[in-house]
Amino acid sequence: MKARVSVMLKDGVLDPQGEAVRHALGTLGFAGVEAVRQGKLIELDLAATDRASAEVEVRAMCEQLLANTVIERYSVEIL
């Protein structure tokens, strides 16, 4: 079973990497980009066969390691 975790900075948290990408896009001539938020995508191969228990386990992984829940939000998709 596979899981996909998307981690993004919470609204209101400064995103210097996103701002650097926005600036670079403007320099390359993409003038219509007003804001960029950069995050990370994590794909996991799991031994679990039960979707519900897999989601509980992946959410625990996010809370303990994969996301800094003070400044980041995450979403979990079991594939």
Residue ranges of domains in the chain, CATH in brackets? 2-78 (3.30.1280.10)
Name residue 77's amino acid: E
pLDDT value at position 36?
96
Across the chain, what does the average pLDDT equal?
96
Mean pLDDT confidence for 49-70: 97
pLDDT tens column, 30-47: 999 999 999 999 999 999
* Residue whose tokens read 């320099």: 27
* Residue whose tokens read 């990408």: 21
pTM attached to this predicted model: 0.87
pLDDT value at position 77?
98
Mean pLDDT confidence for 2-25: 97
Rounded to an integer, what is the distance from CA 68 to the centroid of its chain? 11
